[in-house]
Homo-oligomer: A and B are copies of this chain.
Amino acid sequence: MIRLGENRYGKSRVRLVRVKRAGDRHDLDEWTVEVLLGGDFSSCFAEGDNSKILPTDTMKNTVYSLARTSSARCIEDFAKELTAFFVNRNPQVTSAEVNISESPWERMVCGGNAQGTAFIQSSRELQTAKVSGGRDGAIEVVAGLDDLLILKTANSAFTGYIKDSLTTLPETRDRLFGTAVSAHWTYASANLPFPALRATVREHLLDAFAGHKSESVQHTLYAMAERVLDKVPEVKDIHLTMPNKHCLLVDLSRFGQDNPNEIFVPIDEPHGYIEARVGRE
């Protein structure tokens, strides 16, 4: 017997720009929204019966319509509104998940003055929010960031690891350590000052990375997670992904030159990959 297992559907990459105008000072947000719904949709899959299906086109319309009336100032709050809207309006839906990522527009600064109506997207780092909710009204908020590119040129070692017949990597007490952090942390509550907390978490991540005496990527990843959990009680747990973006020391002795840890080749592939979730007992 064939059986439908876990399934969900929705709309991805619903892009939205919102401009709030207060005289000649405007606020600009660019958000990309994804809506994913779960429920008992087996008759749609097995029989082609669409009577319980909210079209994904309507989800898209909902994003725009709610954006007009919403007072949300951050992606976490807008994701909460959307999640609640879909659950409340659709009894056939048992769970809704809304993912939003924010493109980082900032005010342009000209001659020292922050402009009211001109913006620049200086960063590639994405701020994200994932809100999930079910019929019981419980809501979970996960905030995050992707593609935070950081690198340290001191206080990074890698020694004491397993050596065997396939080992060629030399030990080092002084290497470059570059990574593209993805961090996603779950809040203990759904009603929090999200923008301030986001800024705080991000600062602790950077600060822990910069100051750590690193024995490995794992060691530093854990120190970053630990710092956030220590300093931000609103965070329940945090998941970090930190690829090791290797910088290889160039052998210049072939040209009669030394290379005192100065000239490196950064490579994209292969790359190390480290991920862990760190929580509270």
Q: Which residues of A contact B (CB under 8 A)?
A: 1-21, 24, 26, 28, 30, 34, 36, 41, 44-58, 60-62, 64-65, 67-69, 89-90, 105, 108, 110-111, 115-125, 148-155, 158-162, 164-169, 176, 203, 206-207, 209-211, 213-219, 221-222, 225-226, 229-230, 237, 243-244, 247, 250, 252, 254-257, 259, 261-281
Contacts and interface: CB of A to CB of B under 8 A. Distances in A.
Contacts of A255: 61, 65, 165-166
B10 A273 contact: yes
A153 B68 contact: no
B7 A276 contact: yes
A176 to B, nearest CB: 7
B28 A153 contact: yes
A6 B241 CA distance: 12
B56 A273 contact: yes
Given A67-B263, A243-B12, A257-B68, A7 B275 contact: yes
B5 A167 contact: no
A182 B90 CA distance: 29
A3 B271 contact: no
A124 B61 CA distance: 31
Given A45-B276, A50-B158, 13 more contacts: A5-B276, A5-B279, A9-B274, A45-B222, A50-B160, A61-B254, A65-B252, A69-B257, A110-B207, A117-B152, A120-B148, A121-B124, A123-B123
A270 B15 contact: yes
* Residue among A11, A48, A237 with most chain B CB within 10 A: A48
A168 B255 CA distance: 9
Task: Give 10 nearest A-B pairs by CB, closest first.
Answer: A48-B215, A7-B276, A13-B269, A118-B210, A5-B277, A117-B154, A1-B281, A121-B149, A45-B222, A124-B124
Contact of A6 (B15, B118, B221, B276): B276
A57 B117 CA distance: 25
Nearest to A170: B57
B154 A266 contact: no
B277 A6 contact: yes
Contacts of A4: 222, 276-278
A120 B206 contact: yes
Nearest to A162: B54
A27 to B, nearest CB: 9
A9 B17 CA distance: 25
B2 A280 contact: yes
5 contacts: A19-B153, A44-B215, A48-B215, A118-B150, A168-B254
Contact of A118 (B151, B269, B280): B151
